[in-house]
Amino acid sequence: MQKTVLITGSSRGIGAATARLAAHQGYRVVVNYLVNQQAALELVDDINRNGGKAICQQADVSSESDVITLFQTIDRQLGPLTALVNNAGILEHQMRVEQMSVDRWQRVLTSNVISCFLCCREAVSRMSMKRGGIGGSIVNVSSVAARTGSPGEYVDYAASKGAVDAFTLGLAKEVADEGIRVNAVRPGFIYTDIHASGGEPNRVDRLKDGIPMKRGGTPKEVAHAILWLLSDEASYCTGTFIDLGGGR
């Protein structure tokens, strides 16, 4: 059975590391990005030059029409999708709740929550054995923030990941007897560009002494957990979470 995975937001960071590892493990990989075409194309070239198979698809996964087009393109170009990683996500500048605008909350919630709901909906309608599909596996990328709440930094972001956790639990039970497993990873402080978009590029180094392991994590460490949850080795695992927080 040919394994095919869509990884949303895989031009950079955790998504890109997951795309590389998935290709190495024999998946055909759909690299999705929002604006950073050059990084996505370089990643796809690199995977294909090293004997893997990857294609690149721009789509804003918080937009229903973009997500529908994305899945239709995959149907046409690669056939049945067997795995989905809902990785795309954003955070905004650190501030207290009383300073936050509704526009910001809408951006955070549509980018982190609606995107996950939309991609799960399209994937389940194709994978479900009750609907003629061949089953599949979904991993949502949540955050340790769903447990800690990120006070003084981005409570809205933490709440969006709390929504992803509840959705993961409910969907996992809803489709458990349809050949689909749904799990999530909850990374802690990982070295990627996301902290710069929150206004503090060196955030992980500032906070690392408070982590029991006294270091930040790497995108590759998160990718290994995602790939394990996707794999048949996790065949009895659904509605579960792997925390990658260095003990936090």
Query: How near is the Cβ of 161 to ligand NAP at its closest, in Å?
Result: 7
x/- mask, ligand NAP, residues 172-191, rule CB under 6 A, reads ---------------x-xx-
Cα distances (Å, whole numbers) of residue 213 to 163, 196, 220, 223, 242: 28, 23, 17, 19, 17
Residue recorded with tokens 């659904």: 238
Of the pair 33, 167, the CB lying nearest ligand NAP is at 33
For ligand NAP, the binding residue among 32, 82, 137, 168 (CB under 6 A) is 32
Reduced to 3 states (helix: H, G, I; strand: E, B; else coil), residue 231 is: coil
Residue pair 93/198 in contact (Cβ under 8 Å)? The answer is yes
**Distance in angstroms (rounded) separating the CA atoms of residues 166 and 108:** 17
Q: Which stretch binds ligand NAP (CB under 6 A): 13-21, 68-76, 120-128, 173-181?
A: 13-21
Residue 105: CB partners within 8 Å, gap ≥ 6? 156
192 belongs to the binding site for ligand NAP (CB under 6 A): yes
Q: Which stretch binds ligand NAP (CB under 6 A): 35-43, 49-57, 206-214, 224-232?
A: 35-43
Q: Which of 27, 154, 157, 191 is catalytic?
A: 157
Q: Which stretch binds ligand NAP (CB under 6 A): 28-36, 101-109, 125-133, 231-239?
A: 28-36
What is the DSSP code (8-state) at residue 217?
A: B
For ligand NAP, the binding residue among 62, 137, 168, 183 (CB under 6 A) is 62
218 belongs to the binding site for ligand NAP (CB under 6 A): no
Interacting residues with ligand NAP between 119 and 158 (CB under 6 A): 141, 143
DSSP assignment of 94-141: ---GGG--HHHHHHHHIIIIIHHHHHHHHHHHHH-GGGT---EEEEEE
Residues pairing with 31 in the sheet: 7, 56
Residue recorded with tokens 């239709």: 72
117 belongs to the binding site for ligand NAP (CB under 6 A): no
| Total interface residues for ligand NAP by CB under 6 A | 32
Reduced to 3 states (helix: H, G, I; strand: E, B; else coil), residue 238 is: coil
Query: How near is the Cβ of 82 to ligand NAP at its closest, in Å?
Result: 21
For ligand NAP, the binding residue among 3, 4, 5, 8 (CB under 6 A) is 8
Residue pair 163/89 in contact (Cβ under 8 Å)? The answer is no
**Both tokens of residue 25?**
């493990």
| 154: annotated active-site residue | no
Residues forming the active site: 157
Q: Which residue ranges make up the site for ligand NAP (CB under 6 A)? A: 8-15, 32-36, 39, 60-62, 87-90, 111, 115, 141, 143, 187, 189-190, 192-194, 197
